Amino acid sequence: MRIAELSTPERWHTQPDAQSDPLTAQIESLIKQFETLPVTHPRPELSQLAADLRRCLSQLAERAPPFPNSLKLHLWKLSYRLWNSCVDRSNASSIRSSSSSSSDEDQANLRHVAADMLSLAGSAAGVPSPEVKTAFFYYKTGIIWHSLKRSDLASDCFEKATEIISKVDVGTVKDAGQRKLLLDLQIARSRAAWEVSDQILAVTLLNRSKSLLFGSSDHYVALANQYLAFGKSILETNEGNEAHCFKEALKLMNDALDLCEKAFSTARMRQETVNLKGLKSKILRFIAAVHLQMEEYENVIKCVRILRESDGGGDNHPSLPVLAMKAWLGLGRHDEAEKELRGMVVNKGIPEGVWVSAVEAYFQSAGTAGAETAKGVFLGLLGRCHVSAAAAVTVVHRVIGGNSGIGGDVDGSRVRAKVVAELVSDDRVVALFSGDATAKERNAMHALLWNCAAGHFQLKDYETSAEMFEKAMLFLPCDIEDRVVRAKGFRVLCLCHLGLSQLDRAEEYINEAQKLEPNIASAFLKFKVCLQKNDHNAAINQIQAMTTCLDFAPDFLLLSAHEAVACRVLPVAVASLSNLLNFYVLGKSTATSEVVVLRTLITILSQDTGNEPEVLKFMKHANDRASEMGIGCYFGKDEVAVRELKWFAVTSWNFGTSAGKKKNYMLCAEFLRLASNFYSLLADMQGEEHSLMLCKSLIFTVCAMIALENERKASLVEIEVKQALELLERAGKIVKSLSTRIQLNDDEDAALEPDFNFIYTFSAYDIHGRINDLRSQQILVKNFISSKACTPSYLLQFGLAAAQGPRPNPEVAFLALSQCLSQLLSSVSPDYHNVSLIVRKLIALTSIYKGDTDDDAVYDVYKQAYRIMIGLKEGEYPTEEGKWLVTTAWNRAAIPIRVGQIDVAKKWMKVGIELAGLVPGMETYRACMEDFIRGFDKKFS
């Protein structure tokens, strides 16, 4: 505000002595310079000007005032000129919009100099109310410093103004403007103290200001507004003890209310009364809000009631229903709260944000029980006023409850979801989101409904989830850009109906998804639907369709296999994994290694009988791929490779032995041959640890080949014999190595079980016989006889095979049977049934191969039998075998008799009589034989 210059009276003219003063002349020169500076002049010169003026004032103050009246008047004149120049410059800057904080600060400094100049001049004769005018300068300067956030300088100005004004008798001030200055100064000083956190001083200064109320309603309003502002400030900062803050804020607001009540008596005009009523209502609303924060709900209701019952029709401020509703909720009176909420529907003056906040508060307190009310209020508002899409989003967000609406109360969340579904499906609500302007809100609504549906889906509440996903689709535009999102919606709806076993609905949704976006996700879900419908052929066809998708990845075949296994549809799982193996052959990698896929496939096939040929095929596939790629590349490194190889080796062994038990010798041979390959790889990696199982696999493979020959009644072809021979040669090397380990280390764990040792030797004997390698057969049997595995029963089998097999070997037969007989006789309790069998076989062999050239050899066998039978209990040696010996020995004398070999004939007859004496039941035969010999002796004597 520009100050009128002092003029007219003669005594105000500047005296010559004042003009001749060098300091005042310098000050006047500086002020004149400032008056002539353009508005856009750079700041440094203004700063320097202020510094020069302050320096001159400091030098002038050193003259020890009081000054002559002429000098005082001159200083007053210069101060007014400086002040008015600042005002003019400020006005011009505001018009040009070129004001900046730096230029404002420079002008504040100059105004401060002007105030200090008046303070230095002091009271001048003829200047009315000099103290009030000086205080006014300081007050205005302090206001400017306060606006520039320079609280220290502002407080300094206010304190100087207060110090100057304190010398004035307030009662003598009659001018209304000057009286208002006294009050404004005190309020400004209080505000400055508040802003530097000296709240006690600020409130004290406000309380002192009550003595400066001069009966004007404006004074009361200004002071009451400041009390209210301090109360609001406490609520906004809310530092420290919350209860204490509320209490302090409430005290300040009550003071404001008290001032407002007193001001009514000072009002002279109708507008003043209206303004006071507005301020009172405002204060009461804030008081009610504080009581609400303090949970003093009864006091809130009282404040609202006072406001509504006040003169002039009551206060209809939009916040009153919200305050009342929250208070009723706090008192637990939900019916009253609901009335307040529903009353907002007919109150057109309530802004959208207010009633949305009210709906949120009501629902937060009432919970699920308030869902229907929230929906009714919202739909009611739609009918009477414009409601934004953002408000709809807010209400839905509150009713759903957070991001998903799923918490501990599952039943309650289901009810809320049902209410939301009804709300968002209303045509009026859907219409709110039409057009491009509401794209952001539409996306937000879609996200809310989608998240709610996803939450229920996680809880397996597929019915609610499906409904919410369907409602979310309402907020997707049917344009090309949203095809992907719509397809995603159809896919999740398919999943929901799969969970509800509504397979036809699920198929409808996935078909729609495929139309919009024919990708791998849709194809995979179609596969799941086919599985659930037990349409296995369609599921297998869908596997093929999946591989044609542009975004297909081989891992989806593995996922399809898992789904098929979960549904116990093993043929589909096999088809899926079989397709996956083709991608490995083509060189395409997946997250799962080929060997794991193959192992899974074999495991699945193993669960049903009759799949052995398929298992064999994939076992061969593993063997071939390992040979092609190398063990490290195919099975993995180190321990991983060992673990995988063990699995394939053991599985092949188990399938082979199982096939052997079922007498399926062809599969048995194939599986065991594969097992030997895998065990061979293991032996290469871990030394001799797996040699034993490798040896067994080789041996049993040959056994299966021989058994297959007997089964199909067709001899092994030459190439098969050669293969068997190679397998046995490998086994023989291992047997020899194991025997060496036993001898060197006494490692019994490395020993081949007697049965396996016999089977190996017997099989090798058989195969060598097929190539007529009699010497190798003999060496094999000799080695077996020298081993720990040799037993009479094994030797008997060798002897019988060599004696009466399709490819006899007399040398081996004599060796095996003789050794067997020796071992039997050396035992504590010989098995005379086997002894008699061996004796008979030896007699037969000797008769055939040596009888024509060496009759004594046959005779020695009979004599050995005689020696065996001597001393045995009756029946211990098989009687029938004894009778056979007697009969055959006696009959052997017939031919020598015919050819005249009397001595030879008598030798055999004597053996027969001797044996007959040892066989029970042959006494009569022996007597006859003796009579015959006596007659024979007489005849040839």
Its sign, for the CA torsion 515, 520, 521, 523, is: positive
Q: What is the DSSP letter of 904?
A: H
Give the confidence band of 698 by pLDDT, cuts at 50, 70, 90: very high
**Amino acid identity at 378:** F
CA 179 to chain centre: 73
Q: Per residue in 550-584, pLDDT tens?
A: 888 888 888 898 888 888 888 999 999 989 888 88
Q: What is the DSSP letter of 899?
A: T
Q: Is the pLDDT of residue 16 over 50?
A: no
Using alpha carbons, select from 498, 494, 499, 472 the residue that is nearest to residue 485. Answer: 472
Q: Which two tokens stand for residue 924?
A: 């009569």
Backbone angles phi, psi at 907, to 5 degrees: -60, -45
Q: What is the DSSP letter of 893?
A: T
Using alpha carbons, select from 552, 638, 549, 632 the residue that is nearest to residue 593. Answer: 632
CB-CB contact of 865 with 838 (8 Å): no
C-alpha–C-alpha distance, residues 46 and 339, integer Å: 66
The most confident of the ranges 124-128, 346-350, 792-796 is 792-796
Q: Per residue in 712-739, pLDDT tens?
A: 878 888 898 899 999 989 988 888 887 7
The most confident of the ranges 476-480, 561-565, 652-656, 710-714 is 652-656
Identify the pLDDT of residue 750.
Answer: 47
Range 429-437 average pLDDT: 84
Residue of 318 and 205 predicted with greater confidence: 205
Identify the pLDDT of residue 676.
Answer: 92
Stretch (H or E) spanning 738: helix 718-745
The most confident of the ranges 293-302, 368-377, 499-508 is 499-508
Stretch (H or E) spanning 470: helix 462-473
Q: Is the pLDDT of residue 697 over 70?
A: yes
User: Using N-to-C axis directions, what is the helix angle for 638-661 and 691-712, rounded to 10°?
Assistant: 30
Q: Is the pLDDT of residue 444 over 80?
A: yes
Q: Is the pLDDT of residue 401 over 80?
A: no
Range 905-911 average pLDDT: 91
**Count of all residues that appear for the chain in the document:** 941
CB-CB contact of 770 with 717 (8 Å): no
Backbone angles phi, psi at 547, to 5 degrees: -70, -15
Range 855-871 average pLDDT: 89
C-alpha–C-alpha distance, residues 38 and 85, integer Å: 11
Please write down the long-range contacts of 645-649, taking CB distance under 8 Å and 24 or more positions apart: 645/678, 645/681, 645/682, 645/685, 646/682, 647/599, 648/599, 648/619, 648/622, 648/674, 648/678, 649/675, 649/678, 649/679, 649/682, 649/690, 649/693
Q: Per residue in 583-627, pLDDT tens?
A: 888 877 777 888 899 999 999 999 888 899 999 999 999 999 888
**Amino acid identity at 864:** Q
For a pLDDT cut of 90, what percent of the chain falls above it? 24
Q: Which of 89-103, 858-872, 882-896 has the lowest mean pLDDT?
A: 89-103
CA 671 to chain centre: 43
Its sign, for the CA torsion 334, 336, 338, 340, is: negative
Identify the pLDDT of residue 649.
Answer: 93
C-alpha–C-alpha distance, residues 846 and 852, integer Å: 9
CB-CB contact of 473 with 502 (8 Å): no
Indicate yes or no: pTM above 0.75: no
Its sign, for the CA torsion 588, 594, 596, 597, is: positive
The residues, ordered by sequence, that sit 6+ positions from 812 with a Cβ below 8 Å of its Cβ are 765, 774, 777, 778, 781, 798, 799, 802
The residues, ordered by sequence, that sit 6+ positions from 459 with a Cβ below 8 Å of its Cβ are 406, 410
Range 246-254 average pLDDT: 87
Range 686-695 average pLDDT: 81
The residues, ordered by sequence, that sit 6+ positions from 867 with a Cβ below 8 Å of its Cβ are none
C-alpha to C-alpha distances, 277 to 124, 262, 283, nearest whole angstrom: 45, 12, 10
Identify the pLDDT of residue 888.
Answer: 92
Give the confidence band of 659 by pLDDT, cuts at 50, 70, 90: very high
**Amino acid identity at 528:** K
Identify the pLDDT of residue 90.
Answer: 84
CB-CB contact of 888 with 843 (8 Å): yes
Q: Is the pLDDT of residue 96 over 70?
A: no
Give the confidence band of 941 by pLDDT, cuts at 50, 70, 90: low
Identify the pLDDT of residue 424.
Answer: 84
Identify the pLDDT of residue 15.
Answer: 47
Q: What is the DSSP letter of 2?
A: P
The residues, ordered by sequence, that sit 6+ positions from 618 with a Cβ below 8 Å of its Cβ are 598, 601, 602, 605
C-alpha to C-alpha distances, 163 to 138, 182, 593, 881, nearest whole angstrom: 11, 12, 92, 152
User: Considering the chain, what is the average pLDDT of its residues?
Assistant: 84
Q: Which two tokens stand for residue 294?
A: 């303090």
Identify the pLDDT of residue 14.
Answer: 45
Q: Which two tokens stand for residue 405?
A: 């609406």
Identify the pLDDT of residue 673.
Answer: 94
The most confident of the ranges 363-377, 432-446, 648-662, 781-795 is 648-662
**Amino acid identity at 272:** E
Identify the pLDDT of residue 20.
Answer: 57
Using alpha carbons, select from 172, 275, 166 the residue that is nearest to residue 217. Answer: 275
Q: Is the pLDDT of residue 404 over 70?
A: no
Question: CB-based burial of residue 528 (10 Å sphere; 0-12 exposed, 13-18 middle, 19+ buried)?
Answer: buried
Q: Which residues of 299-338 are buried (b: 16+ CB within 10 A; e: fewer)?
A: bbbbbbebbeeeeeeebebebbbbbbbbbbbbeeebebbb
Q: Which of 448-462, 682-696, 743-757 has the lowest mean pLDDT?
A: 743-757
CA 499 to chain centre: 22
Q: Is the pLDDT of residue 8 over 60?
A: no
Identify the pLDDT of residue 834.
Answer: 93
